[in-house]
Amino acid sequence: MNVTEQPFSQSLEIPSTEESLKHPMEDYLRIERFPHIWCATCGLGTVLTAFITGLQKSELDPDKVSVVSGIGCTGRSAGYLRLDSFHSTHGRAVPFATGLALGNPELKVAVISGDGDLIAIGGNHFIHTARRNIDMTVICVNNFNYAMTGGQAGPTTPLTANASTAPYGCYEYPFNLPYLAESSGAVYVARWTALHIRRLANAICEALLKPGFSFIEVICPCSTLYARRNRLGSGLDLMKHYHDQAIIRHGADTSELQIDFQKEIIVGKFVDIEKPTFARKRDDYLSERLGKDYVPYKGP
């Protein structure tokens, strides 16, 4: 169709009805809490959108989905979602989610939290929950620093990158999160960036539908702190970096996914295996061992 033939009066009309003013994701967002606290060009809004898209795609009943966050910029995610949402303590989102997931086996529980929250202070919970294969989806937003508290170094800060507590550059080895997740027992492991919105949403959908401990790392721009302190430009410049340096390599060996400062970022789906969840294994095992004495946990 010739562009000039398009009926302008329709396509460019300023929406004015109540219905068209509605945010397309309003059913999933606590609009009354907006504006949110996130900086302009932060990637967290994108992650939140991808989460909602993934959830919609999964066709899970949103009433049966609970979201838990810890503390941090990412930790605010739960509070913006119009779902049963829990803003727990720093590092404890995953064990809090264990309470929900085992407390009501009908729930699908998702954790959205930061790299510091999940991997530093919450690192022990993370590996043990993966080991047990508790049925939950953990989305770790990795912005390479502790954003909420002003850009300190964390367990994912790349070597040589600057942070407020690594003023001369970071000399600690960072974690390789997909490797950590896989070796701890996760059944689904993927990494995307905030630029890969469609693939990220698809991964979130897959992870939500996957029984067991699923893990997605999302590389996310923090323009105010990480980018500024490392003179990397704006959030948009970080997105350009993802565009230029992200390499999709599904099924890559997770031991080779280390992220070096401003170097290539391997993304993709790395692990997707079948393994009975904690609750399933417990049920099967105890009913075999205890026979008719076993009374399965039914939830409240």
Partner 1 sequence: MKADPLGVATGSHYMDGDHACAEGAIAAGCRYLAGYPITPSTEVAERIAVRFPKVGGMFIQMEDELASMAAVVGATWTGVKAMTVTSGPGFSLMMENIGLAAMMETPCVVVNVQRGGPSTGLPTLAAQADMMQARWGSHGDYEIIALSPNSPQECFDLTITAFNLAEQWRVPVMFMMDECVGHMSEKVDIPAADEITLTARKFYKGKKANYKPYKFNGQAKLAPMVKAGDGYRIHVTGLTHDERGYPLIDAETQARNVYHLVNKIRNNAEKICLFEEDQVADAEVVVISYGISSRVALKAVEQAREDGLKVGMLRLIVVWPFPEQRIKQLAKQVKSFVVPEINLGQISLEVERNAAGQAQTILVPHPGGWVHDPDDILKAIKEGAA
Ligand X SMILES: Cc1ncc(C[n+]2csc(CCOP(=O)(O)OP(=O)(O)O)c2C)c(N)n1
Q: Which residues bind Mg ion (CB under 5 A)?
A: 114-115, 143
As a dihedral over the C-alpha atoms of residue 94, residue 98, residue 99, residue 103, rounded to 10 degrees, the angle is 150
**Nearer to ligand X among residue 81 and residue 107 (C-beta):** 81
- Binding characters for partner 1, 63-92, by CB under 8 A (x = yes): xx-x-x--x------xx--xxxxxxxx-xx
Tell me which residues in 268-297 interact with partner 1 (CB under 8 A): 286, 290, 293-297
Position with the least CB separation from Mg ion: 114
Does the footprint of partner 1 cover residue 250 (CB under 8 A)? Answer: no
Q: Which of 93, 38, 34, 90 is nearest to 66 (CA)?
A: 93
Give ∠ CA 238-54-145 in degrees, rounded to 5: 35
CB of 194 within 8 A of CB of 17? Answer: no
User: What is the distance, to the nearest Å, from the Cα of residue 125 to the centroid of all Cα atoms in its chain?
Assistant: 16
- How many other C-beta atoms lie within 10 A of the C-beta of residue 198? 10
Tell me which residues in 129-148 interact with partner 1 (CB under 8 A): none
Q: Which of 191, 152, 190 is nearest to 172 (CA)?
A: 152
CB of 117 to ligand X, least distance (A): 3
C-alpha to C-alpha distance for 98 and 120, rounded to whole angstroms: 18
Does the footprint of ligand X cover residue 148 (CB under 6 A)? Answer: yes
- How many other C-beta atoms lie within 10 A of the C-beta of residue 7? 8
CB of 87 to ligand X, least distance (A): 11
When binding is defined by CB under 6 A, the residue of 47, 90, 187, 259 that contacts ligand X is 90
Does the footprint of ligand X cover residue 158 (CB under 6 A)? Answer: no
Residues at the interface with ligand X (CB under 6 A): 71-74, 90, 114-117, 141, 143, 146-149, 154
Give the binding site for partner 1 (CB under 8 A).
Answer: 30, 33, 62-64, 66, 68, 71, 78-79, 82-89, 91-92, 94-100, 102-104, 106-107, 124-125, 128, 286, 290, 293-300
